[in-house]
Structure 1
């Protein structure tokens, strides 16, 4: 039997990409994508503001210690509405303290909170005279009686305080202060 002749070699298939380009027609090239953003620059350091802040803190500390009370200094203050004679009587201990607050060994933050709470409590209960023991500051690291100065500053700014003076020697001397409070309205 005769053999069948081999199939003719297949015709070359046209390039698929060329067929696609012929089918869609002319195209325009897309622009190149933008480059990714670069690493952001660091924020500028506010050196002048930091220096000004440091100077302000330093000046504040200097001002606080410039008129600071020493260990043996006596506290004394009265509002204009209080007679000078009343302050003299307070210094001599003629007013009986109805309550007492001892701030020994408290740090400044704790002492401030305790003093605020104590004065609010005294005002709410209608107390007229209280004693605050702040100590003489002889064991203070800074050689300035921190609690004594804190008590002095705070009492001067409290509206319920009308006068205060260091206690007589038999009630604590310069390590304690007697405080007259305004009458509860």
Structure 2
């Protein structure tokens, strides 16, 4: 074999390698193109599903910082409840403080009899009520004290305290009736109170006039 023939024979393996490389490169390009098309489809899956999408126009917005809520003064409230509870005595003698009429009404010094008459006639509209039915003494005392305190702080003028007629008590005696009168007399927010009219609870309730209303 001549020298020239051997040279061509040596080039054939090289040509086959080059052809294989070109085929491999073409396959790699096709693989990458297919992967890119798939990625684009996945990126636009929502648009391809629902149709063309028009982006919303960007609007200028101001983000306001939401203020954090104020901490609840739980300890102070607990202390206030304790003071309210301790301040009311069951032993105070109020006989000399009550007006001796058919209902043993009460009026603080400086409050005229006419104010009591108006209160008895329903001159002031009832704005809130506390029902003490079913409460034991200490629970009733705390509830009533807090009710009067909160009502006065809210600016209420006339409220009703229901203590019951004692029909469900031992001996059918109104256990809370006398105590509620004692407690009310000791509350500075109370200007006067009278027994409720029959339509408002009668002997089982008191109508109470609070400060700033005379």
User: Do both proteins adopt the same fold according to a TM-score greater than 0.5, normalized to the shorter chain?
Assistant: yes
Counterpart check, 1:160 vs 2:168:
no
Deviations 1:42-92 (A, max 9, x none): xxxxxxxxxxxxxxxxxxx9998x99xxxxx73410012111011011112
In the alignment, structure 2 segments of 5+ residues that lack a partner are: 1-89, 97-101
1:99 corresponding residue in structure 2: 128
Distance 1:63 1:165, change over 3 A: closer
Deviations 1:93-147 (A, max 9, x none): 2221111101111111110010011011101101111101111112211543111
1:139 corresponding residue in structure 2: 168
In the alignment, structure 1 segments of 5+ residues that lack a partner are: 1-60, 68-72
Larger radius of gyration: 2
2:178 corresponding residue in structure 1: 149
Distance 1:93 1:156, change over 3 A: same
Counterpart check, 1:178 vs 2:199:
no
TM-superposed CA distance for 1:154, in Å, is: 0.3
Question: How many aligned residue pairs are there?
Answer: 118
Tell me, yes or no, if the aligned pair for 2:165 and 2:173 is still in contact at 8 Å.
Answer: no
TM-score, normalising length: structure 1: 0.58
Please identify runs of 4+ aligned residues in structure 1 that moved more than 3 A: 61-64
Q: CA RMSD in A?
A: 2.6
Residues 38-77 of structure 1 aligned to structure 2 (within 5 Å): 74-77=103-106
Distance 2:183 2:104 in 1: 12
Counterpart check, 1:111 vs 2:140:
yes
TM-score, normalising length: structure 2: 0.50
1:25 corresponding residue in structure 2: none
Tell me, yes or no, if the aligned pair for 1:75 and 1:174 is still in contact at 8 Å.
Answer: no
Deviates more, 1:138-147 or 1:165-174: 138-147
Distance 1:145 1:172 in 2: 14
Deviations 1:18-38 (A, max 9, x none): xxxxxxxxxxxxxxxxxxxxx
Tell me, yes or no, if the aligned pair for 1:75 and 1:152 is still in contact at 8 Å.
Answer: no
